[in-house]
Amino acid sequence: MILDHRTYTCHPGRIKKHMKLYEDHGWEAQRRHLGEPVVYGAVETGDVNSYVHIWVYEDAADRAAKRAALAADPEWQAFLKLSAESGNLASQVNTILTPAPFFGKPAKG
């Protein structure tokens, strides 16, 4: 299993607009191809202009196949165009994580 941890930072004052744009035009397409995220939330402390989402994949090949299908989806392409035109996003950081060897094992005792 791998985890795709993504942090997006919006320009100040634009996160609510961006989240609404995504809810209306991107959410369904992304879930259709990637499944349900482990986390999708706005940052409440620290950089409050940011939001984070984490997606789980079987492996790098699974991630590549799902992301390719998403990229080819006309609904997703339309969202990306709207997102670019909105100018809400300032930056994006993607991190691929692998679980620690003890993660997911039952507690002893």
Phi-psi region of 68 (alpha: psi -120 to 50; beta: other; left: phi over 0): alpha
What kind of fold does domain 2-88 have according to CATH? Answer: Alpha-Beta Plaits (3.30.70)
CA distances from 34 to 14, 17, 84 (A): 25, 23, 21
**What average pLDDT does this structure show over 9-24?**
96
- What is the average pLDDT score of the chain? 95
pLDDT in tens, 54-93: 999 999 999 999 999 999 999 999 999 999 999 999 999 9
How far apart CA 71 and CA 79 sit, in angstroms, is: 11
What do you get for the CA distance between the two ends of the chain, in Å? 26
CA distances from 103 to 39, 53, 106 (A): 17, 20, 9
Residue (of 80, 18, 17, 27) closest to 8 by Cα position? 18
Which two structure tokens, joined as six digits, stand for 36?
């349900």
- pLDDT at site 65: 98
Decide: pTM greater than 0.95: no
- pLDDT at site 69: 98
Which two structure tokens, joined as six digits, stand for 57?
């994949």
Which two structure tokens, joined as six digits, stand for 83?
């997102």
Domain boundaries, the chain: 2-88
